[in-house]
Amino acid sequence: MVLALADKMFRLKFNRHRPSLITRADQARDIRNWSAAAELYRRALKRNPRNGPIWVQLGHALKESGHLVEAEAAYRAAIGHDPLAADAYLQLGHVLKIQGKRRDAEAAYYAAYRVRPSMRDAVAELAAFGWSEAQLRSRSR
């Protein structure tokens, strides 16, 4: 009994000093270990599936490792949890563009612009598709 209690106290102390799943996932991402980052982000999302920014991070890890369909799903999940997350729309646009889904990519970039008109990356992507600033302004009214 005393040994079991001591073991439990040791594990509690050890776990308190261990970095969180998200911290470890971010560290894996920072060294471009995309598969480890994706796995750790998935584990973090099992604990808190409503964490929109972590869905975006999962999408990045999946996109970078070539899992484009899964990355698209992660970005869409991020948007589902936070429909005002301009970065999630932008990243969705990127992964759709990579997949050759031009119209869907344009729609995602436009959604990013609608949420945050100051987002230069969204404006630049739309310009690359032939959109003018005048078009953007007129469609936003």
Say whether domain 21-140 belongs to CATH 1.25.40.10.
Answer: yes
Quick one: how far is CA 125 from the chain centroid? 18
Q: How far apart are CA 57 and CA 72, in angstroms?
A: 12
H or E, element range at 113: helix 102-115
Dihedral in degrees, nearest 10, Cα atoms 127, 76, 48, 44: -70
Q: Which of 59, 121, 51 is nearest to 95 (CA)?
A: 59
Residue 17's pLDDT band, with cuts at 50, 70 and 90, is confident
pLDDT digits (tens, 9 = 90+) for 70-100: 999 999 999 999 999 999 999 999 999 999 9
Total-model pTM: 0.85
Secondary structure letter of residue 131 according to DSSP: -
pLDDT digits (tens, 9 = 90+) for 105-119: 999 999 999 999 999
Cβ–Cβ < 8 Å for 93, 103 = no
Q: Quick one: average pLDDT of 17-45? A: 96
Q: Quick one: average pLDDT of 6-35? A: 80
Quick one: how far is CA 92 from the chain centroid? 9
Query: Would you state the pLDDT for residue 14?
Result: 53
Q: How far apart are CA 100 and CA 69, in angstroms?
A: 12
pLDDT digits (tens, 9 = 90+) for 128-137: 999 998 888 8
